Amino acid sequence: MKKQVFTGAATALITPLKPSGIDYPAFGRLIDWQIEKGIDALVICGTTGEASTLNDEEHIDAIAFAAEKIAHRVPLIAGTGSNDTPHAIKLARAAWKAGADSLLVVTPYYNKTSQRGLVRYYYDIADSTPLPVILYNVPSRTGVTIEPSTCALLAEHENIVALKEAGGNISKTVETMALVGDRLALYSGNDDQIVPLLALGGLGVISVLSNLLPAETREIYYRFAAGDVAGSLALQLGYHRLIQALFSDVNPIPVKAAMAALGFCDNYLRAPLLPMEKSAEEKLLGVMRDMGLSV
């Protein structure tokens, strides 16, 4: 098996924003709180971090700030994918120099590509730095799927070490794991499928839920790993209503509202994203209150 980036739970961290830019004091407090709560890794500038509306300077500054704040306490996974391979390579190299420990690389979006194009894209990025690369399969956002046979080809590269699977198709994931074995670590990219993917050999989750509940989300993995499958499943099912509420609008709209209600940030998103409508937000906050979260 290749070297693992992490086991357990990695938070796909929000980026606290104000109209003037990144709210670095809030960002720093959030990073410290996540680590104090025992999170196993942090993803900076992923989908939940609104990377698509950060300019390149903000993107790399956020990674550099996080690297300094984290100070090697947990792995820093930097989102650096693009629909333009040279741009993705530029971001990957800049993230490496800024202090990232690993790269999370989404498939090209909008222009998409063939499976042959995916292999070339990922190989070129993996060749550009010494950092381990986590593939990110999320066809609902990108319009392209990393097919199981393509994962098997990508697993041959020494720097391509893991797959964040957010496709939602368990049968495809079974096929992928049958082909790649232990050559790619598997992480759930969907909070409602953590236990099913652990059952397929997954090593954890890259989570939105853990923005709110870092310790509780990682417990799903650690109970499973300790052999307490029933306890792990009870947690998965117990958080189902909250997970549904956190995805009742486009991510990260609901989680930003939730974190603002908990006092971690302003409920500000970059356009074209807008805050939740008040009726929907109140439903989310009601579920949070039912879960014992103080809002």
| Closest listed residue to residue 245, CA positions, set 197, 293, 198 | 293
Mean pLDDT of 143-159: 98
pLDDT at residue 134, rounded to an integer: 98
In-domain check, residue 35 = yes
Total residues belonging to the chain = 295
In-domain check, residue 231 = no
Range of the domain at 24: 8-215
Cα first-last separation, the chain: 43
Residue pair 132/167 in contact (Cβ under 8 Å)? The answer is no
3-class SS of residue 63: helix
Mean pLDDT of 261-267: 97
pLDDT at residue 82, rounded to an integer: 97
Mean pLDDT of 9-26: 98
pLDDT confidence band for 294 (50 / 70 / 90): confident
Residue pair 50/23 in contact (Cβ under 8 Å)? The answer is no
Mean pLDDT of 156-181: 97
Provide the pairing of β-strand 133-137 with 102-106. Answer: parallel
Mean pLDDT of 234-260: 98
Mean pLDDT of 180-196: 97
3-class SS of residue 11: strand
Is 109 a catalytic site residue?
A: no
In-domain check, residue 49 = yes
Burial 25-49 (b: 16+ CB within 10 A, else e): ebbebbbeebbeeebbbbbbbbbbb
pLDDT confidence band for 136 (50 / 70 / 90): very high
pLDDT confidence band for 2 (50 / 70 / 90): confident
Mean pLDDT of 227-239: 98
- Look up residue 267 and give its amino acid: N
pLDDT at residue 24, rounded to an integer: 98
Residue pair 22/60 in contact (Cβ under 8 Å)? The answer is no
Tokens of 116: 């042959």
Block residue for tokens 């550009």:
128
In-domain check, residue 52 = yes
Q: How many domains does the chain have?
A: 1
Please give the share of the chain, as a percent, with pLDDT higher than 90.
98
The residue that leads in pLDDT, 204 or 1, is: 204
Is the predicted pLDDT of residue 220 greater than 90, yes or no?
yes
In-domain check, residue 125 = yes
Is 164 a catalytic site residue?
A: yes
Mean pLDDT of 4-30: 98
Is it true that the peptide bond before 272 is cis, omega within 30 degrees of 0? yes
pLDDT at residue 252, rounded to an integer: 98
Mean pLDDT of 28-38: 98
Query: What angle do helix axes 115-128 and 85-98 make, rounded to 10 degrees?
Result: 30
Q: What does R_g of the chain's alpha carbons equal in angstroms? A: 18
pTM: 0.97
In-domain check, residue 260 = no
In-domain check, residue 1 = no
Is the predicted pLDDT of residue 114 greater than 80, yes or no?
yes
130 CA to centre of own chain? 21
In-domain check, residue 118 = yes
H or E segment at 235? helix 229-238
Mean pLDDT of 204-233: 98
Is the predicted pLDDT of residue 1 greater than 80, yes or no?
no
- Catalytic residue, chosen from 164, 172, 221, 256, is 164
- Mean pLDDT over the full length of the chain: 97
* CATH number of the structural domain spanning residue 181: 3.20.20.70
Least confident of 1-5, 215-219, 269-273: 1-5
Query: What angle do helix axes 56-70 and 24-36 make, rounded to 10 degrees?
Result: 40
pLDDT confidence band for 13 (50 / 70 / 90): very high
pLDDT confidence band for 232 (50 / 70 / 90): very high
- Catalytic residue, chosen from 69, 121, 122, 136, is 136
